[in-house]
Amino acid sequence: MSWYGEHVLPRIVNVVMNTGQMRKIRTRVCADLSGDVVEIGFGTGHNLPFLPPAVRSVRAVEPAGLGVRLAKERIEAAGVPVQVVGLDGQSLPLENESADAVLCTWSLCTIPDPVAAVREMRRVLRPGAQLHFVEHGIAPDPGVRRWQDRLNGIQQRVGGGCNLNRDIPAILAGGGLEITQLDTFYGKGEPKPYGYLYEGRARVS
């Protein structure tokens, strides 16, 4: 990871990923989580305040050490044990069928091989367990898509590898997960190329 990605970007993400709209979305995405949860792209712990009481533990995967340090107060206030177990969502150091749920919010955009990451989520999910997710990705409108393609290279450089134009349903299906619930919409107040959202649940297909 670059110096910018390790020392600067986590501080930016800590601010821009904590809007009122995002907090509402996190509330919905985290609803009904329970048991032992694996979170891919833990970031600075923005999901922790929205975990239901039924969550027993969180095993976090996060490549940025500064992000985890910035999450210190949220971890202390969480009321559940949080253990950082890995750096790479494409290779989870976890046993098969060891998670009651996987949580992934605004993270598949930056993982170099998102299909490999979804395969790993599938591997660690227990039978009947689900992935809870929200991701931004490719928009349905041709004009917006063209702008996503134009801006994607710049976004990758300033956003730590973030992609604007990933096909989230195709990525989930490619990794062996079946979407069971999906809402799609443009985020309020965000430029359309950056803010087409996929929010839902997926299970082992």
CATH number at residue 40: 3.40.50.150
Range of the domain at 172: 3-204
pLDDT recorded at residue 47: 98
Alpha-carbon distance 114 to 199, whole Å?
Answer: 16
Alpha-carbon distance 74 to 64, whole Å?
Answer: 16
* pLDDT of 5 higher than 80: yes
Mean pLDDT computed over 80-99: 96
Mean pLDDT computed over 27-33: 98
In the chain, the percentage of residues whose pLDDT exceeds 70 is 100
- Render pLDDT for 104-118 as a digit per residue (tens, 0 to 9): 999 999 999 999 999
Total of domains in the chain: 1
